[in-house]
Structure 1
């Protein structure tokens, strides 16, 4: 496994991060334990969670909110693991029904952090990420809440997720005015089928030295050999089938290219992301140990310039960075 710095920090993390969104919802605790064991044995030291993971991300407490963190906590409680991983989780989503049980008020951030620490059975979170931007809460309030958690030793680094480029710039300029590090990382939707962040988010991250952690790296399964799997008898959800029908010619060309390379489509999709110098780690969110084993190959997969050019032909981006992509 290769390791790199988390953005401009001195912290080193594996190029693959273990995503735990399926733990508690699609993957039971026993299998989740096996996945985490195999990830650690495979060199993955970066585990990504969120307080809301473990059930559908809508307000239904009976369906497992917090279950993913609880499973990770039970795994950590076996001993000998906490200091071997970089543990990341998130705050923002509604966790209960009260008006202050969501978003990024200082009130909610404090309570949410303490609840995550209890579920994770640890005394600190290495990377605490704002799951979404909250424009209804002043930047000063959010920053103050995060600084307080750092002072108390409850979190070490602060990250963001689903931020626009100007949100990232605002956060970093505000931090710089106080001689603080600011954001260490940003999680954004980024894969071969979704390349919008190449316009402004990626340039902003590169400028400020913030690491990119792409989520949905295989496009909710689209880039995992979906046509082949359907041909083998697997069934796609209605939502996925709509995307398959829309993108069928590109998917056919993509899977044909992967066949020519002799590589699994999911590995090619992950490797493409990891060729981008702004990307710190891509998130692998396996439901099974077998899926994890497959993804472990991706960091060592080197794609030639010719292959990268062919991928651009199949999955064209927005045309470069703003404003050159759309203006003279």
Structure 2
């Protein structure tokens, strides 16, 4: 396994991040334990989750599974860099009117305590805002995160689904307070979703923020399913039809490389300078073991150029992509 620093922090994480969104939903606890053990054995130390995973009335179930896995001991907790998120409604009647999605000092404190309890740990390495809340002032948020860090309950702060402008504002406000600010941004980024290259990725690089791509296979569209006559689990048939020509051309290129579409898609992300680690949201041990090879695949300049021809990005960074 290869490792890199998380943004401008000194924390080293694996180049693949284990996504746990399926644990307790499409993956039972026994299989989840097996996958997490296999991840550590393979050198993956970076695990991502969220307090709402499990969904609806079962929100928190995924963190509970990870907590029971930690509780087995054997160095599992010590070897894991755990990242979780807060923003959504946890369906806790005690939250009252503050239960709805958003951010506040009150909500972050309550939801952090809930995550710590479910994860059976006293600290979280990376605490992430699951979405931007522009109604919440940084005058409120940065001191709240600072208190959590001072108490030793979180190590670093990350964001998710932030625009490039939001990243810049967050870092400017952090600098004004003399604090590190964000070290990561979790963002939807893949061969079919390259709009982040226009503003989000340049902003992240300029401000020392590592990009953690979610949905690296775009809901299964980039997994090769279309050539097997299957739609991705979350991609939908309409999108499959809309991108069929591109996906078929991509499949032929992968055949020439002697690799599968899913692994080349992950390898392509690993070649992007802004990317720290794509999230592999596997459901089975077999899927996990397949994903490991992505780190070994090296794409030369001619291959990267051909991929750009099949999946053109937004035309470069802003403002050159839309100005003279």
**TM-score, scaled relative to structure 2:** 0.96
Say yes or no: does 1:85 pair with 2:80: yes
Find the aligned partners of 2:248 and 2:132 in 1 and give their Cα distance: 36
Q: Which runs of structure 2 are paired with 1:105-184 in the superposition (5 Å)?
A: 105-184=104-183
1:6 aligned partner: 6
Equivalent in 79, 97, 100 of residue 99 of structure 1: 97
Residues matched between the structures, number: 319
Q: Which runs of structure 2 are paired with 1:217-232 in the superposition (5 Å)?
A: 217-230=216-229
8 A Cα contact 2:213 2:275, kept in partner: yes
Find the aligned partners of 2:254 and 2:235 in 1 and give their Cα distance: 24
Q: Offset at 1:239?
A: 5.3
> In structure 2, do the counterparts of structure 1 residues 26 and 175 end up closer, same or farther at CA, with 3 Å as the change threshold?
same
Find the aligned partners of 1:236 and 1:271 in 2 and give their Cα distance: 19
After the TM superposition, which parts of structure 1 deviate over 4 Å for at least 4 consecutive aligned residues?
234-239
> In structure 2, do the counterparts of structure 1 residues 291 and 139 end up closer, same or farther at CA, with 3 Å as the change threshold?
same
2:274 aligned partner: 278
| Gap regions ≥5 residues in structure 2 | none
Equivalent in 255, 259, 276 of residue 263 of structure 1: 259
8 A Cα contact 2:185 2:210, kept in partner: yes
1:192 aligned partner: 191
Q: Offset at 1:137?
A: 1.2
Find the aligned partners of 1:244 and 1:21 in 2 and give their Cα distance: 23
Find the aligned partners of 1:137 and 1:204 in 2 and give their Cα distance: 21
Find the aligned partners of 1:8 and 1:181 in 2 and give their Cα distance: 9
8 A Cα contact 2:219 2:234, kept in partner: no
| Gap regions ≥5 residues in structure 1 | none
8 A Cα contact 2:220 2:235, kept in partner: no
> In structure 2, do the counterparts of structure 1 residues 3 and 314 end up closer, same or farther at CA, with 3 Å as the change threshold?
same
Find the aligned partners of 1:199 and 1:228 in 2 and give their Cα distance: 30
The 3-state SS of whatever aligns with 2:78 is helix
> In structure 2, do the counterparts of structure 1 residues 237 and 319 end up closer, same or farther at CA, with 3 Å as the change threshold?
same
The two structures, once aligned, show a CA RMSD in angstroms of 1.2
Q: Offset at 1:41?
A: 0.6
| 1:224-267 Cα deviation digits (max 9, x unpaired) | 1112332xxx5656851111011100010011111111111111
**TM-score, scaled relative to structure 1:** 0.95
